[in-house]
Amino acid sequence: MAQDRKPVRWHVGVFLAPAVIVYTAIMIVPLFATLDLSLYEVRDKVAAFVGLGNFAKLFGDPNWSGQFWNALWNNTWFFVVNMAVQNPIGIGLAALLSSNRLRFAAAYRTAIFVPTILSFVIVGFVWKLILSPLWGIAPDLLKSVGLRHWFAPWLGDPHTALTTIALISVWQFIGIPMMLIYAALLSIPEEVIEAAEMDGITGMSQFWRIKLPLILPSIGIISILTFVGNFNAFDLIYVAQGALAGPDFSTDILGTFLYRTFFGFQLQLGDPNMGATIATVMFAIILVGVCVYLFGIQRRLRRYQF
């Protein structure tokens, strides 16, 4: 019977087309072009296919692998600091903001969120000035509380530079977890809270036992956003420490390593093929990280329906 045959649903394709075309043109094609670029090497002006040769060079040639592992390790530390400092403080701030007893909550919320919308260039420049041993206010502030000897040229010391930069990044982005968690906390229905209060769970234990489990999915999302953001990071370090990510490459992360390799720096000439190789490895790292989260963690999170 003709009625049973479903008509071809042209409209589905028509409605999908704009997004698919735009996404393909500006995301998928460049992504595969990058993967493709990493399989070639320029010899005498001609691109020659070398298979995984560039990857062998990146991991096998000590000149490359030394820099790569250094950048990866620094990147991991950058991520660890961000995870360990930014997210707990963000959750704490959100919990404080959502408290009914807090006055001027809107003012605090705005003030804490503002750095997030500032440009990296401004953040890097301002913090460089604040921490400058010559004209910064950090040494004077410490002096006024009698702790001048605590001050060190943090951005210039290979042991402290990366952590300092990571903390600047935390300062800048603390608003994001705060806002997300704040929204999640507000969406918890009053009935649940009231029920808890009837059972005598109030104050801190209410936060730990009732609210925290309910906002866990949001924390998961924030973690994955932090992970992706940190492993793609570049701007702040480039602005504050330059493309050589000094001192002594101690703040060199995958993004700055990629930039130097791809575009070149000072007398070092750019090498798009090796650059694409590093970009591919970065892509793989982020892909693996996201998959681990999606399949390993998110599926096991319990969700509550209200």
Q: Which residues bind another protein (CB under 8 A)?
A: 45, 63-64, 128, 131-135, 139, 151-158, 241-244, 246-249, 259, 263-270
In the bound complex, what is the minimum distance in angstroms from residue 282's beta carbon to another protein?
A: 18
In the bound complex, what is the minimum distance in angstroms from residue 42's beta carbon to another protein?
A: 10
CA max distance for the chain: 91
Q: Find out whether 286 and 269 touch, Cβ atoms under 8 Å.
A: no
Q: How many CB atoms lie within 10 A of CB 156?
A: 16
Tallying the residues shown for the chain, one arrives at: 306
The gap between the terminal CA atoms of the chain, to the nearest Å, is 45
Nearer to another protein, 107 or 267 (CB): 267
Nearer to another protein, 173 or 238 (CB): 238
DSSP strand pairing (40-43 vs 268-269): unpaired
Peptide bond into 247 cis (omega under 30): yes
Q: Find out whether 124 and 132 touch, Cβ atoms under 8 Å.
A: no
- Bridge partners, residue 112, by sequence: none
In the bound complex, what is the minimum distance in angstroms from residue 133's beta carbon to another protein?
A: 2
CA pseudo-torsion sign 85, 98, 111, 239: positive
- 269 φ, ψ to 5°? -85, 150
In the bound complex, what is the minimum distance in angstroms from residue 250's beta carbon to another protein?
A: 9
Closest CA to 274 of 283, 263, 285, 284: 263
The rounded distance, in Å, linking the Cα atoms of 198 and 142 is 48
Nearer to another protein, 173 or 259 (CB): 259
Nearer to another protein, 171 or 293 (CB): 171
Nearer to another protein, 199 or 248 (CB): 248
In the bound complex, what is the minimum distance in angstroms from residue 86's beta carbon to another protein?
A: 24
In the bound complex, what is the minimum distance in angstroms from residue 129's beta carbon to another protein?
A: 10
In the bound complex, what is the minimum distance in angstroms from residue 259's beta carbon to another protein?
A: 8
Nearer to another protein, 63 or 305 (CB): 63
Nearer to another protein, 14 or 46 (CB): 46
